[in-house]
């Protein structure tokens, strides 16, 4: 297994993001991704999720044809419905197809949170260190 720190730089190739700092959260079951705007479009035969992301100074608009709603329980016990999408994550040469819930993280320091489903069986976390895999 590979040891990583409590924050790591990752790439989100399908989103066109070459580098963003992600917080590693061993208390979170799923990973989360900050969105700026979200809309479900019902024009065609199947609904589409239209999402605008803002990663740093870059704005990205994407359409997800495969998505679903899931219930997420916060650390305070509050339950909310969130959209769940899948996209690959690159971390130091390792690419992992990862599910993300979409959440407005504008009031938080990190736009990407990596949870236990991403970590399980792949990575160990040294919470006393940061950016162990950074170039």
100-134 residue pLDDT tens: 999 887 777 888 999 999 999 889 999 999 998 86
**pLDDT value at residue 66:** 92
Rounded distance, CA 79 to CA 132, Å?
33
Cβ burial 92-108 (10 Å sphere, 16+ → b, else e): eeeebebbbbbbebeee
- Give the HSE-up count for residue 26: Cα atoms under 13 Å, Cβ half-sphere: 11
Query: What pTM was computed for the model?
Result: 0.85
* Cβ within 8 Å of residue 94, ≥6 positions away: 2, 122
Q: Is 85 exposed, middle or buried (0-12, 13-18, 19+ CB in 10 A)?
A: buried
* CATH superfamily to which 8-120 belongs: Acid Proteases (2.40.70.10)
Q: Delimit the domains of the chain by residue range.
A: 8-120
Does residue 53 have a pLDDT over 90? no
């Amino acid at each position: 297994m590979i040891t990583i720190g409590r924050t790591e730089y990752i790439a989100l190739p399908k989103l066109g993001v070459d580098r963003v700092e992600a917080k590693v959260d061993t208390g979170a079951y799923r990973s989360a991704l900050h969105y700026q705007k979200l809309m479900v479009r019902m024009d065609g035969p199947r609904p589409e999720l239209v999402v605008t992301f803002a990663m740093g100074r870059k704005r990205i608009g994407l359409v997800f044809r495969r998505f679903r709603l899931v219930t997420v329980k916060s650390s305070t016990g509050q339950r909310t419905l969130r959209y769940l999408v899948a996209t690959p994550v690159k971390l130091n040469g390792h690419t992992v197809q990862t599910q993300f819930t979409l959440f407005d993280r504008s009031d938080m320091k990190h736009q990407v949170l990596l949870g236990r489903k991403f970590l399980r069986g792949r990575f160990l976390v040294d919470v006393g260190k940061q950016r162990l895999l950074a170039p």
